[in-house]
Amino acid sequence: MPENREADRAAEKERRTREKEEVNRLFREYAKTKDIAIRNKLIEDHLYIAEILAKKYINKGIEYDDLFQVASIGLILAVDRFDIEKGFEFSSYATPTIIGEIKKHFRDKGWVIRVPRRIQEMSKRVNNARVSLAQELQRVPTITDIADYLDTTEEEVLEVIEASKVYSPQSLDAQLGTQNDDTDVTISDLIGEEEAYFTKIETVDFIQKGMESLNEMEKLILKHRYFEKKTQVSIAKELNISQMTVSRIEKKIMEKFRRELELTEANPSE
């Protein structure tokens, strides 16, 4: 009956609220005391995140047990680095940290061992071309677009893309964007999977430095898009602006993060 379903939904919402409050309480307590027992409980209670993300990369050339171990390391790092006072949910913070560890593991164990150098080098060119073309064309580039841009054959582009699927994990991020749908360029797409930048994007220090250059609207859109995983359409409706405006602001955010990244690369000791 409708009344029962409504009651069930209300009970489920209340349960989730209690769980979230308990998690927040534990993180605050851990921040104060650094109690190992609390740390272990937080890790144990969130191992399901590591399990889910590790399973996303099954059949990519590395055993599941190894993937789960690496994902668990990422979870531990996330627990140790998480700041509850920032206002983000732990799962939103932990997910990119865990994915970063998994991707790093593939880079260290997969590409270096098995991928021919020609494929490695061409893969970087293809990824860079996809990013440039997506920004220029405002849509996902086709194989023909990429081949023309690189002055190579469609067959070679396809070979590299297929090899990338075999030797490295598929991206979990959104596709490069278009003006006609609600997918747009994500941070990891802009930077390129084969670059070491993705790990830096995920660090708290880097994000904090990048956010210092953002205005209030940019910070709000960054929070909605990359921490709350909202679509451009939903953000536009919530803020009473057009999707195009959200897209333009998002691109400005990416450019500011790029500049911060370049400064980090130029001054690694800072």
In the structure, what pLDDT confidence band is assigned to residue 27 with cuts at 50, 70 and 90? very high
- Pick the range with the lowest mean pLDDT from 29-43, 206-220, 224-238: 206-220
pLDDT over threshold 60, residue 198: no
Does residue 134 belong to any structural domain of this protein? no
Structure tokens at 255: 């450019």
Over residues 242-258, the pLDDT tens digits come to 888 888 888 888 887 77
pLDDT over threshold 50, residue 191: no
pLDDT over threshold 60, residue 270: no
| pLDDT score recorded for residue 259 | 74
Q: Considering the chain, what is the average pLDDT of its residues?
A: 74
pLDDT over threshold 60, residue 199: no
Give the CATH number, domain containing residue 48: 1.10.601.10
Does residue 54 belong to any structural domain of this protein? yes
Does residue 101 belong to any structural domain of this protein? yes
C-alpha–C-alpha distance, residues 45 and 64, integer Å: 20
pLDDT over threshold 70, residue 130: yes
Over residues 39-91, the pLDDT tens digits come to 999 999 999 989 988 888 887 777 888 889 999 999 999 999 998 888 778 88
pLDDT over threshold 70, residue 214: yes
| pLDDT score recorded for residue 131 | 83
Q: Report, as an integer, the average pLDDT of 166-179.
A: 40
C-alpha–C-alpha distance, residues 135 and 255, integer Å: 12
| pLDDT score recorded for residue 76 | 93
Does residue 226 belong to any structural domain of this protein? no
Does residue 132 belong to any structural domain of this protein? no
Which long-range contacts (C-beta less than 8 Å, at least 24 apart) are formed by 236-239?
Answer: none
Does residue 189 belong to any structural domain of this protein? no
| pLDDT score recorded for residue 25 | 94
Count the domains in the chain.
Answer: 1
| pLDDT score recorded for residue 166 | 47
Domain hosting residue 33, numbered range: 1-114
Does residue 260 belong to any structural domain of this protein? no
**Which residues, 6+ apart, have CB-to-CB distance to 73 below 8 Å?**
101
| pLDDT score recorded for residue 209 | 63
C-alpha–C-alpha distance, residues 121 and 160, integer Å: 10
Percent of the chain with pLDDT over 90: 14
Does residue 91 belong to any structural domain of this protein? yes
